Copies of this chain bind each other. A is one copy, B any other.
Amino acid sequence: MDLDYQKSDGLVTAVIQDHASGRVLMVGYMNEEAFRTTTETGFATFYSRSRKKLWQKGESSGHRLAVKEIAVDCDRDAVLVKVEAIGPGVCHEGYESCFFRRLDDGEWKVSEERTYDPTTIYRGQA
């Protein structure tokens, strides 16, 4: 069974979930090559829509995502990747998860503390 890359211009949506805590860490997108690279290397690899190229999560920060399990949804256009996140946080803004803001009375509010200082890791590249 192949993934359906046609619905989103050659991409599938990839939801990244911590395999131990169940926390959703980030959402990325994979083209066929990124998905194949993810399964072959065991580390989550995405296609950057803005930079138009493959990137292995953690290639600059070291915060890689070791794949534990991959599931696919019923219409084959989204994958759920359970991972062990290496390092203190997945988000380039310094948080454990990219979903660090919650809707609270109609406003998005930061709902947790940073787990690391992103300026020491990304050196301004963000």
A100 to B74 alpha-carbon distance, docked (Å): 7
Let me know if A54 is at the binding interface, CB within 8 A. no
How many whole Å from A106's CB to the nearest CB in chain B? 8
A21 to B74 alpha-carbon distance, docked (Å): 20
Known contacts A15-B24, A23-B22; A71 and B100 CB within 8 A of each other: yes
A72 touches B49 (CB 8 A): no
Let me know if A117 is at the binding interface, CB within 8 A. no
Task: Name the residue of chain B whose CB is nearest to the CB of A28.
Answer: B78
Interface residues of A (CB under 8 A from B): 1, 7-8, 13, 15, 17, 21-24, 26-27, 39, 49-50, 69-75, 78, 80, 91-93, 95, 98-103, 106-108, 111
